[in-house]
C-alpha cells in the first residue's frame, strides 16, 4: 500500500520509457600511491549498465571490483586517483569533478549500498534521520516532509511498521533490516544507477535471498540500472542479465549471463564456475583454483592469470593480451580463446 503511494509520486521510469545507458565506464585506470611507489590497481576497465538491467561484476578478493565501484562514485581513498579513462553516470561525466560537484551527483544520479550494512549506518543517529538527511540535502525539503517521504521509502523496501521504525537507531535493527534501510537511503532521491557492493555477503542465507529479491523487484519497478558486485556466482546466476569477470585489475570476460555460464570463453571464468559448490556433486573431489590473485605490485605485464591457468602454453601465452570479441556481446581476454573448449556449469 505504502509502496503504491510512493510509486505515484515518483517520476515514471518503468518499462514505458526506452532503456538508457546509466553507467558508461571507458578505459578506467586507477593508481594508488604507496610506500612501494605508484601501483596500478585496475587497468583499462570498460563497463556499461543500462536502466533495464542488472550487471554483475565478479571476481575474487583483490581483483579490483570494489575499486571500480568506488571510482564510479568518486569515493576513492585520498591516495588513489583515476589516472586514465572516463566515467559517465546517467549522462554526466564525473572524472575530474571537484569534491563539491561530485557530492551533488552522489545519491542523486548514482547511489551505493555496501557490505556489512550494520557498520554502514551511523550508530549515533536514528535510521529515519539518516535517510531523510539525504532528501533534505538534495531536494531542500523540510525536516517533516523528508521524514514523511522516508516513511514511504521504508514501506517501499518492505520494512514493517515504518512510522515507528524510522525513529529507531541502527542497533535496534537486524543486519537484513539495516540493508533495507541502506536501500531506502540509496533510493531516496530517485537515482538512475544503484551500485551494490557485496550487498548480501555479510547476511544470513535466508535474509540474503530476501534482500536480493527486493533489489530485483526494485530494479524492475523503478527502472534503475544495477551494478551488482559479488564474488558469489550463485548470486550472479540468479540476478544478473550481463556479467563482467575481473581478474587482477582487468576485465577478463564479458558476456550475457547465459553465455557466460554455459559457454565461458576464458579459462579463469571456467575455473571459477568449476569451483561453485553444488549439493548434487556431493562426494566428488572439490575443485578449486590453485594459488591466489597476485598483489598489484606483482601484476605481470603479460597475461595475469597465466601462472594459475591450467591451459597456459608458454609459446602462445607469454604476451600482452587484449579483451577481444568472440561473439556478439561476448568478449574474452585470452590468447588461446579460439582454440579452447571450456567447460561451463553442468546441466
Partner 1 sequence: MIRFVGYRLLLAVPTIVLVTFLVFALMALSPADPAVAIAGDDATPEQLAQVRHDLGLDDPFLIRYADWGWQALQGNLGVSPVTHQSVLSDLQFRLPITLSLLLLALVFSIVIGVLLGTLAALNRGGVIDWVANGVTNLLMAVPPFVAATLLVLMLAVARPLFPATGYATVTAGVGPYLTYMTLPALALAVIPAALLMRQVRGALIDAMEEDYVRTARAKGLRTWTVVGKHAAKNAAIPVVTVLGLLIAQMLGGAVVVEKIFAIPGLGSASVESVLTGDLVTLQGLVLVVALVVIVVNLLVDASYGYFNPKLRTR
Residues that bind partner 1 (CB under 8 A): 73, 75, 99-100, 103-108, 111-112, 114, 116, 119-126, 130, 133-134, 137-138, 169, 171, 182, 185-186, 188
Please name which of 203, 12, 8, 205 lies closest in space to residue 119, comparing C-alpha atoms: 203
Q: Is 111 helix (H, G, I), strand (E, B) or coil?
A: strand
> Is 69 or 208 the residue whose CB approaches partner 1 more closely?
69
Do strands 242-247 and 250-256 pair parallel, antiparallel, or not at all (unpaired)?
antiparallel
How many CB atoms within 10 Å of residue 175? 18
> Is 151 or 181 the residue whose CB approaches partner 1 more closely?
181
CB of 73 to partner 1, least distance (A): 6
> Is 149 or 304 the residue whose CB approaches partner 1 more closely?
149
E strand residue ranges, 12-113: 21-34, 37-50, 54-58, 80-89, 92-93, 110-113
> Is 159 or 245 the residue whose CB approaches partner 1 more closely?
159
> Is 41 or 73 the residue whose CB approaches partner 1 more closely?
73
Give all strands of the β-sheet with 92-93 in edge-to-edge order: 37-50, 21-34, 80-89, 92-93
CB of 165 to partner 1, least distance (A): 14
> Can you name the residues that pair with 37 across neighbouring β-strands?
34
CB of 331 to partner 1, least distance (A): 30
Run of H or E including 228: strand 225-230
What letter does residue 106 receive in the DSSP assignment? B
Work out the end-to-end distance of the chain between its first and last CA atoms, rounded to an integer number of angstroms.
Answer: 41
CB of 235 to partner 1, least distance (A): 21
Calpha distance 154→181 (Å, rounded): 7
CB of 183 to partner 1, least distance (A): 12
> Is 176 or 264 the residue whose CB approaches partner 1 more closely?
176
CB of 171 to partner 1, least distance (A): 5
Amino acid at each position: 500500500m505504502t509502496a503504491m503511494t510512493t510509486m505515484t509520486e515518483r517520476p515514471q521510469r518503468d518499462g514505458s520509457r526506452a532503456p538508457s545507458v546509466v553507467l558508461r565506464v571507458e578505459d578506467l585506470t586507477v593508481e594508488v600511491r604507496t610506500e612501494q611507489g605508484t601501483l596500478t590497481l585496475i587497468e583499462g576497465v570498460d563497463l556499461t549498465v543500462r536502466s533495464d538491467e542488472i550487471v554483475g561484476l565478479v571476481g575474487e578478493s583483490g581483483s579490483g571490483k570494489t575499486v571500480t565501484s568506488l571510482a564510479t562514485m568518486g569515493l576513492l581513498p585520498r591516495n588513489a586517483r583515476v589516472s586514465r579513462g572516463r566515467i559517465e553516470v546517467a549522462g554526466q561525466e564525473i572524472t575530474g569533478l571537484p569534491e563539491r560537484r561530485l557530492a551533488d551527483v552522489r545519491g542523486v544520479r548514482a547511489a551505493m549500498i555496501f557490505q556489512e550494512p550494520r557498520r554502514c549506518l551511523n550508530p549515533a543517529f536514528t535510521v529515519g534521520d539518516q535517510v531523510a538527511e539525504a532528501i533534505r540535502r538534495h531536494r531542500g525539503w523540510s525536516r517533516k516532509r523528508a521524514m514523511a517521504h522516508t516513511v514511504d521509502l521504508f514501506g517501499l523496501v518492505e520494512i514493517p511498521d515504518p512510522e515507528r521504525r524510522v525513529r529507531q537507531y541502527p542497533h535496534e535493527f537486524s543486519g537484513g533490516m539495516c540493508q533495507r534501510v541502506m536501500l531506502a537511503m540509496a533510493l531516496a532521491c530517485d537515482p538512475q544507477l544503484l551500485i551494490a557492493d557485496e550487498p548480501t555477503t555479510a547476511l544470513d542465507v535466508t535474509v540474503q535471498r530476501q534482500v536480493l529479491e527486493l533489489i530485483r523487484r526494485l530494479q524492475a519497478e523503478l527502472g534503475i540500472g544495477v551494478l551488482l558486485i559479488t564474488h558469489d556466482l550463485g548470486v550472479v546466476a540468479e540476478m544478473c542479465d550481463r556479467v563482467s569477470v575481473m581478474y587482477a585489475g582487468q576485465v577478463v570476460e564479458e558476456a550475457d549471463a547465459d553465455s557466460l555460464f554455459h559457454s565461458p570463453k576464458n579459462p579463469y571464468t571456467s575455473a571459477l564456475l568449476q569451483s561453485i559448490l553444488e549439493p548434487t556433486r556431493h562426494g566428488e573431489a572439490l575443485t578449486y583454483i590453485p594459488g591466489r590473485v597476485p598483489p598489484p605490485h606483482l601484476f605481470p605485464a603479460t597475461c595475469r592469470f597465466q601462472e594459475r591457468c591450467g591451459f597456459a602454453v608458454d609459446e602462445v601465452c607469454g604476451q600482452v593480451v587484449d579483451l577481444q570479441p568472440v561473439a556478439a556481446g561476448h568478449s574474452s581476454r585470452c590468447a588461446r580463446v579460439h582454440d579452447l573448449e571450456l567447460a561451463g556449469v553442468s546441466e
